[in-house]
Structure 1
Amino acid sequence: MKRPTESQTFHPLTDVISRIRSVADQPEVSVGRILEAAGQAGVLPLIFVPALIAATPLSGIPGVSMVCGVLIALFSAELILGMKEFYLPDRLKRKTIDGNKLDHAMARITPMMEWVERHTGQRLSFLFHRPLLWVPQGICLLSGMAMPFLEFIPFSGSIAATGVCLLVMAMLTRDGVVFLFAMLPYAVGAWLLVRFLL
């Protein structure tokens, strides 16, 4: 999967959702087709899409959080390494998800994304220049790596996915306030993890 140029990476969040819904017209939609559609909008949507899916009730489907976590980790690592093309194993490309459920989940979350777009702007944009940019990218990587294991702890995988969604939103809109807000799900997740372990 070729990596778009930097000038192509900024697109409205609702545009990404619209691209996902455009391919959710079949009983079963492959991961490869979903990411191919979203990837046309830039680099960051390749991370945003699996995080968004895992943050919705779709995460209740067995294995969804695990696959989404692997995708988030894979694309985050390739983004950090500055790879010119993104690699996705054929086995992951062939994974499918119910088209109707996908379309319904995206429809429900669209108003929230529209609200986010109306209330974001380029604030504290210095946070999105290297080396500081590696911080949200690194957190996305670690979140994706943790999600397959968090599937055994109720709600924790969805919380991590929500954090990744917010981090990608922050990077797409270059809004540092959203980046700071993205730390809240991780604080909640850490609290739940401590309670679960104790």
Structure 2
Amino acid sequence: MSEREHQELAGLAHLLERIEQAPRRDNGRAQLGDLLASVGQGSFGTLLLVPGVITLFPLVGDIPGVPTLMALLVLLVAGQLLIGRRTFWLPQWLLKRSVSRAKLDKAVAWMRKPARAIDRLLKPRLPWLTQRAGTYLIAIVCFLIALAMPLMEVVPFSANGAGLALMMFGLSLMANDGLWALLALILTGGTVGGVAYTLL
């Protein structure tokens, strides 16, 4: 199964634009459901990229509870892909969770310039890591990352490392860039190893 069949975004910079264009609610909050509806949620790559970027964002990813919320999203999506679903279902209670819109806007502005640089580095290569069996390998690894993310909230910066890995996996699927998937696998091993060393 190729994730390029339902590609909805042109890259990380485009994702940030879509997040910025998501509906603005009167209570000053940004609901997860609004963000996903804005960026599109038809592909596994997109549904990894969104929680990865939110967890990586400064001001947002460090808010207590946000990494765990993003982990729940990844668990649900990766789990559904592993059992063979081609479309993804998410519960309303999760979609209605929200973060500060002001902090989200600041984080998007901070990340816009590096996003353009990252997009220039993406290109199709090592397709065996991002298609068919490779997609399921990525889903398994992301499922394991999500299981570990609640523990990462007590280890400084480790949740940001998990967010970076999820973002890289999402980009690798969207761009069919297996090199990024390989780098994300290495980053995952280092992050999980560091958390295990700290907690044990």
Match of 1:175 among 170, 174, 177: 177
Quote the Cα distance in structure 1 between the aligned partners of 2:176 and 2:93.
34
Q: Which residue of 1 aligns with 2:97?
A: 95
Once the two structures are overlaid, the 10-residue window that deviates more, 94-103 or 177-186, is: 177-186
Of 27-36 and 149-158, more deviation after overlay is shown by 149-158
TM-score, normalising length: structure 1? 0.87
> Measured at CA, do residues 40 and 136 of structure 1 come closer, stay the same or move farther in structure 2, by a change above 3 Å?
closer
2:54 alignment partner AA: I
Please list, as runs of the form range in 1=range in 2, the aligned pairs for 1:65-144 lying within 5 A after superposition: 65-144=67-146
Instruction: Flag as ranges the 4+ runs of structure 1 deviating above 6 A.
Output: none
Distance 2:85 2:4 in 1: 13
Per the TM alignment, residue 42 of structure 1 is displaced from its structure 2 partner at its CA by 4.0
* TM-score, length-scaled by structure 2: 0.87
Instruction: Report if aligned partners of 2:19, 2:38 keep a CA contact under 8 Å in 1.
Output: yes
CA deviation profile, 1:129-163 (whole Å, cap 9, x unmatched)? 32232111211111112212221222222211111
In 1: Cα distance, 2:54 partner to 2:192 partner: 21
1:17 and 1:110 in contact (8 A); partners too? yes
TM superposition shift of 1:45: 1.3
For structure 2, the 5+ residue unaligned runs are none
CA contact (8 A) 2:41 2:47 kept: no
Unpaired runs of 5+ residues, structure 1, are: none
Greater relative contact order (Cα 8 A, min sep 6): structure 1 or 2?
2
Q: Is the 8 A contact 2:8 2:40 kept in 1?
A: no
Cα distance between partner residues in 2 of 1:157 and 1:7: 30
**Contact 1:9–1:42 (Cα < 8 Å) also in 2:** yes
| Distance (Å, rounded) in 1 between the aligned partners of 2:6 and 2:131 | 17
**Residues paired across the two proteins, number:** 194
1:79-128 Cα offsets, whole Å, 9 max, x none, are 23332432212211221111111111122112222112212211111222
- Does the aligned pair in 2 maintain the 1:24–1:103 contact within 8 Å? no
Aligned residue in 1 for 2:9: 11
- 2:36 & 2:170 partners in 1: Cα distance? 15
Query: Identity of counterpart residues, as a percentage?
Result: 25
- SS state of the match for residue 134, structure 2? coil
Partner of 1:153: 155
Retained in 1: the 8 A contact 2:51–2:73? yes
Indicate conservation of the 8 Å contact 1:125/1:176, yes or no: yes
Partners of 1:194 and 1:101 lie apart in 2 by 30
Shift in CA distance, 132/103, structure 1 to aligned 2, threshold 3 Å = same
